[in-house]
Structure 1
Amino acid sequence: MRVTSFTETMLGTVRVDGRDPVRRIRLDLRAETDQVLRPHRTTRARLGGRIRIGELADDPDATGELEISPLARRRIRYRLTFTADGRLMVLDGWKSVTPRHPVRSMTVLPFTLYEDSVRVGEGTLRFPVTTGLAPFLLSFRFPRREDPAQYLAPRWDGGPGRTEVWYTTLTDPTTGTGIWLHHELVSPTDGSAPHTHGWAAAFPPDGEVRHVRFGPAPWDKPTCGFTSPGVSVAPGRLTGTAADFHWDLTEHPLAAPLFTFPRWSWRHPLLPAAHMLPAARATYDGTFSDGQQTLTLRGAPGASARIHGHGNARRWAWLHAELGDGDVLDVIAAVSTRPVLRQLPPLVFLRLRHRDRTWPRRAERSAVGLFGIGRFRARIALPEWTVTGRTLLRRIRVEVTQPAERTLALDYRDPDGAPAVCRNSESADAKILLERWWGHWRPEATWTLEGTVHAEVGER
């Protein structure tokens, strides 16, 4: 079944608390439905985006709902919850659609502001037809609905020399603590029994990084997700107890799956490994305790990911970054252990979901370029590593910093018994510059992230 998504921008004015001056207001919204949009029916959509009110509000995490019923009920109703100067407000209004004035009725949105169900303001928003119509129409997407749970099922076929990973990384918005949950299945190359193991780690902004390991333990063949004594990964739920660590988290997917490697590599294991995110973005509620502090999480941003393959690369770097406004960046740069591939520079798989579009359009583009020309490049080192690359009209530079005091080194073994070590930080920093060609290179977007980036450098 296909769904519908689109973006919309509206501009206008608002007066709050009666005596305040008239202020400018801007809405940059994303709408997502659970079905194909049909104008002759009533369709409900989830709303998210950014609300800006001059000198009063700039909330990039506004949420709400949209009722689209231009023919059945002759209205398009918006209801958004946002924060303004520390106050929780609700914007409620609708466009009254009439055939007598089709353009005006479809582009003018009178609205009312409420605080604790009390009316505190009113205003009018307008859709800018001249500048906004083309981007609005081009933003419509009708992707297939994919259930993130379908990607939790184990991919291992029972053969030797394979590994499979379920991992989750997130950041507590209250304390800034980064959390890492790693669950792994290993089927040794020598044909011995498969086993599970993993770890949990906490990265407080000020304090020592703490972690705990669990396993090894026999694999009990769950049909969906991961299980090990005291630890489980199930659709929408992560639980575990290991030594003095305890966690019980509920996962709420917010975006469509993101395939860091080509989508076909997940279905057909022809590459040394494959990587994907069942949901490119998610939020987490629940509790997480590392034995020293217990965190109560509410809407913690993060994501879960999946890996399956023959083992780790010879060298690798990984990044997951929440960029705000629904944007997200995932990067993997790796040198393969295969005899020919290990002589090449790192292959880069970069996927940027920006303004509801994924760039580069194909995952192979950043790794192999066009006929071998234009591959993205990576310089893997610590405490800093970089990735750069360009397509015809865009180029990007990613600079990642993993401070030593916020980086955890863990050693383990691949299916062939070779030792590997990963140096991970769930509170890393990054600077990202995206540019577009308009006769010359101009900045399209920049992000500076401090302490909220999930990154790793590893080697065998």
Structure 2
Amino acid sequence: MRATEFTETMLGTVRLDAEPRERRLRLDLRAEADTVLRPHRTTMARLTGRARIAGLADDTGAKGELEVSPLARRRIRYRLTFTADGRVLTLDGWKSVTPRRPVASMTVLPFTLYEGDTRIGAGVLRFPLLTGLLPFLLSFRFPRRDTQAELLAPRWNGTPGRTEVWYTTLTDPATGTGIWLHHELTAPADGSEPTAHGWVAAFPREGEVRHARFGPVPWTRPEHGFTSDDVTVTAGHLTGSADDFHWKLTERPQEPPLFTFPRWAWRRPLLPAAQMLPAARAAYDGEFAYGDRTLTLRGAPGASARIYGHGNAQRWTWLHADLGGGDVLELVAAVSTRPGLRRLPPLVFLRLRHRGRTWPRRAERSAVGWLGIGRFRAGFGLPRWTVTGRTALRRIRVEVDQPAERTLVLEYRDPDGARAVCRNSETADARVVLERWWGRWRPEASWVLDRTAHAEAGDR
């Protein structure tokens, strides 16, 4: 199923009822619809962006909805909520589409401004044709929208020498406990029967990290996710038991899927491996018990991810960071096991979803740059590792700390029989600094995560 995405800028003025003069108003919006726009039908889209009123508001977290119905209802309606000087305001208006004035009716937006249900002002916005039309047309994208069930369905087609992973990481907000659920299909390179196995781990804020393994058992080729005896993963549900661990969780995705690697790498397994997140941000409810402890989860923040490929990299690092406010960072840095490639510096795949947009715009940008210029770089090591990189107008630095006492070391086997070791912490620390070029590098945003980052470093 195809979706529609585009950006739009509108300029104008607003007059507050309590003021005699007008104030300048600017909206920089991004619209996302789950279907392809069809002019003869009504299409609803989500709005995010920035609302600026001179001397009153500059909110980069504005949100709302857009109704596109130029023929069916002869209108294009905008409802946008934003904050201004601590007040929550709603802009409500529509373009009245008519064939008698096609240009004006499609570019002029009269609106009313409300605080709650009370009108506090009114104004007019206009789409700037001379400066805005070309960027508007070039911004249109029609990405494929995948359902979570489709993304969770097994990819393995019977080819030997493959591994497939479903994993979930989350943090209990009440206790600060980090939780890791890892489910894996391994199809040995020698053609022997595939097996399902995995592990579960708890990382209490204070105390010893504990884990338990399940499997291996024969792979039963489920259609909708992962199954291994008592352990299952399906859309919206994770259940299982292993030793004295027991869990029954529901998952509520909060964000669309995020492709850490290029989308084509997930669709067509041309790279040694690819990773993506069916739920880039999700809330988890239910129970998670181990030993004599039972955690009742309510809205626990986390994410679910998928991996498919030939096995682990020669060396790798991984980070998932819920940055708050809807922002999320996912990165994978790896050195391939392929001859020749293993001598190259680590390839970095970094995706930052910030203020409703994903940066870098293309997933391969952080790995290859422009002909190798501007490629992101990783510094491996423990307990600290780093990733740095830049594009034309932004640069980022990520520092991750995995203290030994909060890190679980696990060994397992790749499809080729090689030994792999991962060092995982679901209570890692991280610092992320994002800067933007405005004649010089200036801070745009920064985040500090104290024992809520999910990180891993591994090798073969």
Q: Same fold (TM over 0.5)?
A: yes
Pairs within 5 Å for 1:373-392: 373-392=373-392
Q: CA deviation at 1:64?
A: 5.5
CA gap 1:173/1:8 in 2 versus in 1, 3 angstroms: farther
Q: Give the equivalent residue in structure 1 for 2:247.
A: 246
Q: Give the equivalent residue in structure 2 for 1:217.
A: 217
Q: Give the equivalent residue in structure 2 for 1:446.
A: 445
Deviations 1:49-72 (A, max 9, x none): 688999x99998876544333554
Using the alignment, how far apart are the partners of 2:270 and 2:131 within structure 1? Answer: 44
Using the alignment, how far apart are the partners of 1:410 and 1:14 within structure 2? Answer: 63
Cα contact 1:12–1:24 (8 A) shared by 2? yes
Pairs within 5 Å for 1:149-298: 149-172=149-172, 176-206=176-206, 208-242=208-242, 243-252=244-253, 254-258=255-259, 260-279=260-279, 281-291=280-290, 292-298=293-299
Instruction: Report the 3-state secondary structure (helix = DSSP H, G, I; strand = E; otherwise coil) of the residue aligned with 1:295.
Output: strand
Using the alignment, how far apart are the partners of 1:390 and 1:305 within structure 2? Answer: 25
CA gap 1:82/1:233 in 2 versus in 1, 3 angstroms: farther
Cα contact 1:14–1:25 (8 A) shared by 2? no
CA gap 1:391/1:245 in 2 versus in 1, 3 angstroms: same
Q: How many residues align?
A: 447
Instruction: Report the 3-state secondary structure (helix = DSSP H, G, I; strand = E; otherwise coil) of the residue aligned with 2:431.
Output: strand
Pairs within 5 Å for 1:57-456: 65-70=65-70, 72-77=72-77, 91=90, 93-95=92-94, 97=96, 102=104, 106-114=108-116, 119=117, 122-124=120-122, 127=125, 139-172=139-172, 176-206=176-206, 208-242=208-242, 243-252=244-253, 254-258=255-259, 260-279=260-279, 281-291=280-290, 292-298=293-299, 300-324=300-324, 326-354=326-354, 358-438=358-438, 440-443=439-442, 445-451=444-450, 452-456=452-456
Using the alignment, how far apart are the partners of 2:257 and 2:131 within structure 1? Answer: 25
Using the alignment, how far apart are the partners of 1:402 and 1:341 within structure 2? Answer: 27
Using the alignment, how far apart are the partners of 2:49 and 2:161 within structure 1? Answer: 45
Instruction: Report the 3-state secondary structure (helix = DSSP H, G, I; strand = E; otherwise coil) of the residue aligned with 1:275.
Output: strand
Residue type of the partner of 1:290? A
Q: CA deviation at 1:317?
A: 0.4
Q: Give the equivalent residue in structure 2 for 1:5.
A: 5
TM-score scaled by structure 2?
0.78
TM-score scaled by structure 1?
0.78
CA gap 1:48/1:288 in 2 versus in 1, 3 angstroms: farther
Instruction: Report the 3-state secondary structure (helix = DSSP H, G, I; strand = E; otherwise coil) of the residue aligned with 1:278.
Output: strand
Using the alignment, how far apart are the partners of 1:435 and 1:146 within structure 2? Answer: 32
Q: CA deviation at 1:419?
A: 2.8
Cα contact 2:388–2:396 (8 A) shared by 1? yes
Using the alignment, how far apart are the partners of 1:347 and 1:323 within structure 2? Answer: 23
Cα contact 1:148–1:257 (8 A) shared by 2? no
Q: CA deviation at 1:332?
A: 1.2
Deviates more, 1:337-346 or 1:167-176: 167-176
Cα contact 2:70–2:76 (8 A) shared by 1? yes
Using the alignment, how far apart are the partners of 1:226 and 1:179 within structure 2? Answer: 18
Instruction: Report the 3-state secondary structure (helix = DSSP H, G, I; strand = E; otherwise coil) of the residue aligned with 2:142.
Output: coil
Instruction: Report the 3-state secondary structure (helix = DSSP H, G, I; strand = E; otherwise coil) of the residue aligned with 1:293.
Output: strand
Q: CA deviation at 1:111?
A: 4.0
CA gap 1:176/1:64 in 2 versus in 1, 3 angstroms: farther
Q: Give the equivalent residue in structure 1 for 2:42.
A: 42
Instruction: Report the 3-state secondary structure (helix = DSSP H, G, I; strand = E; otherwise coil) of the residue aligned with 2:375.
Output: coil
CA-atom RMSD, angstroms? 4.3
Cα contact 1:95–1:110 (8 A) shared by 2? no
Cα contact 1:237–1:251 (8 A) shared by 2? no
Residue type of the partner of 1:165? V
Q: Percent identity?
A: 62
Q: CA deviation at 1:224?
A: 2.8
CA gap 1:113/1:132 in 2 versus in 1, 3 angstroms: farther
Q: CA deviation at 1:386?
A: 0.9
Q: CA deviation at 1:366?
A: 3.0
Cα contact 1:9–1:127 (8 A) shared by 2? no
Q: CA deviation at 1:319?
A: 1.5
Gaps of 5+ in 2: none
Cα contact 1:396–1:432 (8 A) shared by 2? yes
Using the alignment, how far apart are the partners of 2:248 and 2:131 within structure 1? Answer: 46
Deviations 1:61-86 (A, max 9, x none): 87654433355435554557899999
Cα contact 2:388–2:398 (8 A) shared by 1? yes
CA gap 1:38/1:310 in 2 versus in 1, 3 angstroms: closer
Q: CA deviation at 1:182?
A: 1.0
Using the alignment, how far apart are the partners of 2:24 and 2:384 within structure 1? Answer: 42
Using the alignment, how far apart are the partners of 1:214 and 1:12 within structure 2? Answer: 63
CA gap 1:3/1:368 in 2 versus in 1, 3 angstroms: closer
Instruction: Report the 3-state secondary structure (helix = DSSP H, G, I; strand = E; otherwise coil) of the residue aligned with 1:73.
Output: coil
